[in-house]
Amino acid sequence: MAPANLIDGRAIARQLQDELARRVATVKARQVLPGLAFVRVGEDPASKVYVGRKEKACSDLGIHSETHVLKERTSEEDLLALLHQLNSDASIHGILVQAPLPSHIRAALIYSAVRPDKDVDGFHPVNMGKLMLGDSSGFVPCTPAGIQELLTRSNVATEGAEVVVLGRGNIVGKPMAALLCQKARGANATVTICHGATRDVQTHSRRADILIAAMGVAEFVKADMVKPGAVVIDVGVNRIPDPQSKTGSKLVGDVDFVRVQPIAGKITPNPGGVGPMTIAMLMQNTVRAAEAAAR
């Protein structure tokens, strides 16, 4: 059997970047420079890498960015004070608080403190509520929005499709399900969410026309869990031991890619699939926020 078609997230993200560059130029012509503030608490290595990639995306598009790094032991009060300052700064159109936060800081409290019109991560309860209501004026979390864009630009039909989402997290699983069941373009799907308490996940996953793996379990999705011809989207980022690697480990997704690829109709590589789209949608949300300010 010929290899499945790859959904190239990097190439689609570049398409989006080209489109956004034109929108940035239009906003700048109206004397508004899009501005995005990153807030990182502590020195988590992965967080430093992720923020660095987002900073580069801003630079490539001509978006102003600034990064605020707070110590691991920073109090909730000090973090909230910084967010209040950024909320009041007219030159900042988007605010992103990088996850994960230290255990002594309540993430829900922090995400709720970002002004909804600057919440380009889409985690504020107002934006989550708008998503549930089908109100497109809010910001959609970047990874689910990026996945929907991947499907649309890869000519994957979602209307009437059986979609199974593995994982019920607030960042991907729940908003992904809410997004794909909307009565809207690129949605209108029948969605099932599976999680740790689901009986016989394979029964559900083998029914899926579109399978979205976001459980955070390395190579969880095996070949016998996938319906032949299904579209498989791999969201996971997991580090596993690899004696042949210089670092002693390697990154893998939630899908056993080598074995699933020959079965799938279309599949995202990992890396190079969902990740670039998450950053692209963050840039899109920031440009949207700047356009609203320009109006």
The residues annotated as belonging to the active site are 54, 98, 121
Q: H/E element holding 164?
A: strand 162-166
Tell me the pairing of strands 249-252 and 238-241. antiparallel
Helices (H), the chain: 9-29, 45-61, 76-87, 107-113, 125-133, 142-153, 173-180, 201-205, 257-260, 274-294
Sign of the torsion angle spanned by Cα atoms 121, 53, 272, 25: positive
Cis previous bond, 100, omega within 30: yes
Query: What is the rounded distance in angstroms from the CA atom of residue 249 to the CA atom of residue 201?
Result: 28
- Check: CB of residue 234 under 8 Å from CB of residue 196: no
